[in-house]
Structure 1
Amino acid sequence: MLYQFPPHFYWGSAASATQTEGAAAQFGKGDNIWDHWYQQEPNRFYQGVSPQQTSTFYQHFRDDIGLMKAINHNSFRTSISWSRLIPDGTGEVNQQAVAFYNQMIDELIAQGIEPFLCLFHFDMPLAMQNIGGFENRKVVAAYAYYAQTCFTLFGDRVKHWFTFNEPVVTVEGGYLYNFHYPNVVDFRRAATVAYHTILAHAEAVKRYRKLALGGKIGIILNLTPSYPRSDNEADRLASFHCDLLFNRSFLDPAVKGAYPRELIELLDHYHQLPEIELGDCRLIEQGKVDMLGINYYQPRRVQAKLHAVNHTNPFMPEWLFDEYRMPGCKMNPHRGWEIYEKGVYDILINLRDNYDNLPCYISENGMGVEGEEKFLHNGQIQDDYRIDFIREHLKWVHRAIEEGSTCFGYHMWTFIDNWSWCNAYKNRYGFYRLDLATQQRSLKKSGEWFAQTAKHNGFADLATGEQSWI
């Protein structure tokens, strides 16, 4: 079967500043929460690898962009480091950072690669975290100033902007489940951070539109379909609540300009609503996005509670549902995540039917593999598993487009194996293998496959199982 994608489809990959730039304490950059947390608790980081030990994009961005071009990228998404551009979070701008980002943007454009820039990818400046991070409305104002600074400096060339990457992960990791700094476990504080993040997002959108720079602005959300164990009413309610908390809590305000009534009622019932000020609702309404980035890795499967909740414990999302492992599901044995390709189709059709078919693209999709060196043969990683993963997801993206989805691109996570928060290089995701000792980049088999798919804007999946390109 032929899988031909629409004209001008965006093919590329995604990364972030903290995970790739390196130079974490150089060239005028201030500390962010990852720099600080590593200094405080290096034992929380896999094999003690710090955020200074990344894939050195700061020094090698020109060569790396050339490698992107070599595998036919026509777009690339990364983030700006707030703590590099404005080391104290607000105030003086670091001119060394301005020069770096200008050169990076110009090099992408010179190579025919459209820059997609995200303003915030989990990396709160320490100076802002020290006054409460997004628990503090002063940080909302500081973020708005930072966003406007970026738009003013780079908006003449960058036409695809994103306010946040996976904001619910910052909430989950930092304020519910203790896998990001500041390691708080408190739902009410989590709800406040989530709410103020949406206010910050809306402020950035409002300021971008006021500048009239001729581009588009959106947000990147990790939309994880919440599938119920069964059609039983209790299981379906568990799925509904999970979807409210982990998907619609950001999707609805960002796309529809208002929170779901059911979410407000749910948080009110459990006394977890954040403080709302006059004018907030109008601001959120002004924050409706032009486009949406969708990060999809795995589904979420849930069921009704199997045991009674102990209400003397602090409120947590798990009061409302239990996780469920579906028997017989396909798994990534290296990462421990379910592989469910149809999930990306379900997301796109939901956006088509329930969110006015907002223009969107797959901003991250990927397969992490631990110990990938065992697939190294004749100097190349033979990652046929990653080719299968991409191809099978793209088939469902293609079907959604055929059925009317406005999906306009596909970005893989990631370009080169990169440092990944607390997991360092445990799980490899890149099209290019990174040799940590030499910083040498070498193309994996999946990169060759992707290069041909991008070149031909699609692929043919033959009945024999062989691959060819259109």
Structure 2
Amino acid sequence: MKQYTFPEGFLWGSAASAPQTEGASQKDGKAKSIWDYWYETEAERFYENIGPEITSDFYHCYEQDIQRMKNIHLNSFRTSISWSRLLPDGTNVNQKAVEFYNRVIDTLLNQGIKPIINLFHFDMPMHLQEKGGWENREVVDAFAFYARTAFELFGDRVTLWTTFNEPIVPVEMGYLNHFHYPCVVDMKRAVTVAYHSILASAKAIRNYRELNRDGQIGIILNLTPSYPRSQDKEDVRAAEIADLFFNRSFLDPSVLGEYPSALIELLDEHQLLPHREKGDKELLRHNVVDFLGVNYYQPRRVKKKESAGSSQEGIMPEDFFDPYIWPERRMNPYRGWEIYEKGLYDIAVNIKQNYGNIPWYVAENGMGVANEERFMDQTGTIQDNYRIEFYEEHLKWLHQAIEEGSNCFGYHVWTFMDNWSWLNAYKNRYGFYRVNLKDRERILKKSGNWFKQVIDQNGLIVED
């Protein structure tokens, strides 16, 4: 047997978000988010017509769910606040939302579970989207006000905050594809959305520090290593461009306080630079994150552009490279993602070498599988050995990175219980607990008991 022991005080937990778990989507004063609106207008686009109105009903079941977290010994939990619940009109605080989030935070703390609270998880309030969403600079200031409100209300107990979860996703899915509202496909507008998101993050960070709270603030990025097909200079260049667009566009300004010059030059060459204002550079330079959350699911493999250029919609990121299928790849066929555990190690090395070895933690890592009932035994337990293997192999690589000096302080899985996942709804399940959609009953899977043992051992003990 071989033992992989993690640092003392390591954060073992899980991640979730308000729109994917809370439900009560328009109750107790909550206003509509883009997801509420989109479901009302195009319910057929959502898998099995399941929308955001109930999800996993954490809004009503939080006390029992937090007890379930305690039962499998989680010492930390990351979720988000719903902007449209806390500030339904963007200005006035919804007292019922304050009471709910206070109860959640206090219950977590009473159970010895450290809350990590995120401010934005793809759920733009609809009244702000009608003003242009992240395309409108006014929304940057609206977010900064929302962030300050949250810090003032909950910052006496919450000591780890993050501004955004995966800010590249609304850019990629909502402004370069049709998978998130508003389904715009326009790279110039996408660049503006990305730029305003990073400005909003920096303004929130500035507000947090002005309040002199006893805590830290970061951002959560889904870092997807870009691997070239070969060391041919054109393949390498293709991977560098993919990395600029999908990783460094948020990583560099968040951690280093400035954009990579190569990205600025590339955008300028193609007339894609966003409108900037005086003071923007200083804002980014002086408001970098204290720590980084990293979501890792899959790598990106690319080669030089060989296919015909895209689109009647104008230039797109895919005009600079083609996807490459690695012959040795292993796939999660349900999600269509490659499983490549070493990618987490490569991320750790990159952070150590190029980003000052900033403190960071794995904010999401998980495996979504459809039709998990196939793996249910006579007791009703899902025997999800595939998920256990997925986690074990990633943790081995993470342990190696820590042994080599990477400043990683935690590992959070996606997710604690099956949750609603945007257009896919409950198609793929990720949780330690199965959620029965008929009655919202939670049933612990095999992986939940396995993770409890990992936490108790502060690591893995596996066959060598």
Name the TM tier (shorter chain). Answer: over 0.9
Letter of the 1:275 counterpart: H
Partner SS state of residue 329, structure 2: coil
Is the counterpart of residue 255 in structure 1 residue 255 in structure 2? yes
Is the counterpart of residue 201 in structure 1 residue 213 in structure 2? no
- The 5 Å alignment of 1:241-280 reads 241-280=241-280
RMSD: 0.9
Deviations along 1:359-383, whole A, 9 cap, x unmatched? 0000000000011111111210000
Q: Partner residue of 2:307? A: 307
Q: Partner residue of 1:337? A: 337
Q: Is the 8 A contact 1:205 1:286 kept in 2?
A: no
Q: Partner residue of 1:35? A: 36
Aligned residues between the structures: 462
Letter of the 1:198 counterpart: I
Letter of the 2:154 counterpart: F
Deviations along 1:45-84, whole A, 9 cap, x unmatched? 1111010131000001000000000111000000000000
- In the alignment, the residues of structure 2 paired with residue 311 and residue 166 of structure 1 have an alpha-carbon distance, to the nearest angstrom, of 26
Q: Is the 8 A contact 1:53 1:419 kept in 2?
A: no
Q: Which runs of 4+ in 1 moved over 4 A?
A: 310-313
Q: Partner residue of 1:407? A: 408
Q: Partner residue of 1:325? A: 325
Task: Single out whichever of 328-337 and 437-446 deviates more from structure 2.
Answer: 328-337
- In the alignment, the residues of structure 2 paired with residue 53 and residue 42 of structure 1 have an alpha-carbon distance, to the nearest angstrom, of 14
Q: Partner residue of 2:48? A: 47
- In the alignment, the residues of structure 2 paired with residue 311 and residue 175 of structure 1 have an alpha-carbon distance, to the nearest angstrom, of 14
Q: Partner residue of 1:419? A: 420
Unaligned stretches of 5+ residues in structure 1: 464-470
Q: Partner residue of 1:119? A: 119
Deviations along 1:257-281, whole A, 9 cap, x unmatched? 0000000000000000000110000
The offset of 1:307, in angstroms, is 2.7
Q: Partner residue of 1:94? A: 94
Letter of the 2:181 counterpart: Y
Is the counterpart of residue 383 in structure 1 residue 388 in structure 2? no
- In the alignment, the residues of structure 1 paired with residue 212 and residue 332 of structure 2 have an alpha-carbon distance, to the nearest angstrom, of 45
Q: Partner residue of 1:466? A: none
Partner SS state of residue 380, structure 1: coil
- What TM-score do the two structures reach when normalised by structure 2? 0.99
Q: Partner residue of 2:440? A: 439
Letter of the 1:109 counterpart: L
- In the alignment, the residues of structure 1 paired with residue 194 and residue 284 of structure 2 have an alpha-carbon distance, to the nearest angstrom, of 13
- In the alignment, the residues of structure 2 paired with residue 312 and residue 245 of structure 1 have an alpha-carbon distance, to the nearest angstrom, of 21
The offset of 1:44, in angstroms, is 1.1
The offset of 1:308, in angstroms, is 4.3
Is the counterpart of residue 57 in structure 1 residue 58 in structure 2? yes
- In the alignment, the residues of structure 1 paired with residue 365 and residue 147 of structure 2 have an alpha-carbon distance, to the nearest angstrom, of 26
The offset of 1:286, in angstroms, is 2.0
Q: Partner residue of 2:17? A: 16
Q: Partner residue of 2:393? A: 392
Deviations along 1:120-151, whole A, 9 cap, x unmatched? 00000001101000111110010000000000
- In the alignment, the residues of structure 1 paired with residue 440 and residue 418 of structure 2 have an alpha-carbon distance, to the nearest angstrom, of 10
Task: Single out whichever of 266-275 and 39-48 deviates more from structure 2.
Answer: 39-48
Deviations along 1:381-432, whole A, 9 cap, x unmatched? 0000000000000000100000000000000000000010010100000000
Unaligned stretches of 5+ residues in structure 2: none
Q: Partner residue of 2:239? A: 239
- In the alignment, the residues of structure 1 paired with residue 23 and residue 310 of structure 2 have an alpha-carbon distance, to the nearest angstrom, of 45
Q: Partner residue of 1:141? A: 141
> Given the superposition, is the C-alpha separation of residues 45 and 209 from structure 1 closer, same or farther in structure 2, using an over 3 Å criterion?
same
- In the alignment, the residues of structure 1 paired with residue 287 and residue 429 of structure 2 have an alpha-carbon distance, to the nearest angstrom, of 35
Deviations along 1:2-54, whole A, 9 cap, x unmatched? 10000000000000000000000101000000000111111111111010131
The offset of 1:251, in angstroms, is 0.1
- In the alignment, the residues of structure 2 paired with residue 308 and residue 282 of structure 1 have an alpha-carbon distance, to the nearest angstrom, of 41
Q: Partner residue of 2:85? A: 84
The offset of 1:313, in angstroms, is 5.2
Partner SS state of residue 100, structure 1: helix
Letter of the 1:182 counterpart: P
- In the alignment, the residues of structure 1 paired with residue 198 and residue 220 of structure 2 have an alpha-carbon distance, to the nearest angstrom, of 12
Q: Partner residue of 1:458? A: 459
Partner SS state of residue 120, structure 2: coil
Q: Is the 8 A contact 1:162 1:218 kept in 2?
A: yes
- In the alignment, the residues of structure 2 paired with residue 281 and residue 3 of structure 1 have an alpha-carbon distance, to the nearest angstrom, of 43
Letter of the 1:361 counterpart: Y
- In the alignment, the residues of structure 2 paired with residue 272 and residue 5 of structure 1 have an alpha-carbon distance, to the nearest angstrom, of 44
The offset of 1:310, in angstroms, is 6.0
Letter of the 1:146 counterpart: Y
Q: Is the 8 A contact 2:185 2:313 kept in 1?
A: no
Q: Is the 8 A contact 1:295 1:362 kept in 2?
A: yes
